[in-house]
Amino acid sequence: MTTASVRIRPIRFGFLLDPKDPTTLRQVLQINTCLWGGIYNYLLPVQQKAPLRYRDYSFTNLGAGVIKLNLTKGTGPSARQLIHGLLEAFQPDLLVESIKRIREAGVTVAVRVSPQRAAELTPDLLAAGVEILVVQGTIVSAEHVAPDDEEPLNLKRFIADLDVPVIAGGVADYRTAMHLMRTGAAGVIVGHGHSMGVTSTDAVLGIAVPMATAIVDAAAARRDYLDETGGRYVHVIADGGVHVSGDLAKSIACGADAVMLGEPLSNAAGMPGRGLYWTAAAAHPSLPRSRVQLALDDDSVQTDLKTLLYGPSSDPDGRVNLFGALRRALAKTGYSDLKEFQKVGLTVRG
């Protein structure tokens, strides 16, 4: 007879707090009195500077929620390092429960992970019911490079071991797109989510993606890979430079099968960010490359998601009725479906 030992404990919650905000602190304490007295939860202080009591300490994350305290004078963590260390030790229970609730709503569940944490987080995500996994970084290759003490992510082997489709990126040229297609990815992301005024990857790293050229290159790789495999089609997803409906139409005309609409969708009422927009690069522990910024300017009028996508619109700048504008672009150029529209003639203007 086979026996199994199962350890059950309540879900853990993490509360990010400003130590100088007594009202919020009081509310959190009240909430925790009803959550097993708060003994399973983290209260994570968010501060501009690390407290003086930490100036002679450094921390090493040993995994499984264990942090080793080192006493070395003058090597204390910065405020950013401190909060990221606490978050890294926090197990992803809340994330898993959120995914389950989304799945129970009857919609397709897709989750994005970085290449660095894909192997670590994927088992929990799959157990929660993720249906599409997105492995996304600024530039992603078939084999991710890792520090000497870590095993690099071999994307081909990683994808082969999964029963869910994987979308990978970003890429900016034909060669990298072809490499990712050969790993077995169901989709390839072109670009790194550039958004004017929000992302700063160009300024910080000197890396920018000319989206029109990159999408055309990835579409060419898709065509050649289709011939190479005898019919396996990999979807090309444009991610970057899409602010208004005209950018959506141009991306598909260049060969994209789908377009990431993060910034335009953040304008809709009821979005989780409440009008704020940022990319995953904002959370980098040592080199953030995205600001957290209001998506709406003073002249913008917030609307519901259905109107933003399907109209009607009274906005002359292409920020509302995105799909209606795309249909109109197809009609004006003589096409009736998106695949045919990918064959439209293109011109370059300065």
Question: Rounded to whole angstroms, how far apart are CA atoms 203 and 220?
Answer: 29
Residue of 36 and 18 predicted with greater confidence: 18
More confident residue, 33 or 161: 161
**Domains of the chain, earliest start first:** 14-89 (no CATH), 107-341 (3.20.20.70)
- Give the model's pLDDT for residue 232: 97
Reported confidence tier of residue 325, pLDDT bands at 50, 70, 90: very high
- For the record, the structure tokens of 195 come out as 């958004």
The 3-state DSSP class for residue 58 equals strand
Neighbouring residues of 142: CB distance < 8 A, sequence distance ≥ 6: 154, 155, 156, 179, 180, 182, 183
Report pTM: 0.74
Q: Return the pLDDT at 130.
A: 92
Q: Say what percent of the chain tops pLDDT 90.
A: 37
Looking at this protein, which amino acid is placed at residue 13?
A: F
Q: Where are the beta strands (DSSP E) in the chain?
A: 14-17, 42-45, 57-63, 66-71, 110-113, 132-136, 166-171, 187-194, 235-240, 258-259, 276-277, 293-294
The pLDDT, as a whole number, for residue 137 is 87
pLDDT tens profile 233-264: 999 999 998 999 999 999 999 999 999 998 88
Predicted pLDDT at 105: 87
Whole-angstrom distance, CA of residue 19 vs CA of residue 43: 10
Q: Which two tokens stand for residue 209?
A: 């993606």
Q: What is the DSSP letter of 283?
A: G
Q: Which residues pair with 194 in a beta bridge?
A: 240
- Between residues 91 and 30, the one the model is more confident about: 30
Amino acid letter for position 308: L
d(CA 344, CA 346): 6
Taking the CA atoms of residue 71, residue 76, residue 82 and residue 86 in that order, the dihedral angle to the nearest 10 degrees is: -10
342 band by pLDDT with thresholds 50, 70 and 90? very high
Name beta bridge partners: 187.
Answer: 167, 235
pLDDT value of position 66: 47
Convert the pLDDT of each residue in 189-214 to its tens digit: 999 888 888 888 888 888 888 999 99
What confidence tens digit (pLDDT) does each residue in 259-285 have?
A: 999 888 888 888 877 778 888 877 676
| High-pLDDT (> 70) share of the chain, % | 76
pLDDT per position as a tens digit, 19-59: 788 888 888 888 877 766 666 677 777 777 766 666 655 55
Q: In degrees rounded to 5, what are phi and psi of residue 22?
A: -65, -30
Mean pLDDT (the chain, rounded): 82
CA distance 130 to 26: 35
CA distance 256 to 217: 10
Give the closest residue to 115 by CA, choosing from 174, 45, 66, 169. Answer: 169
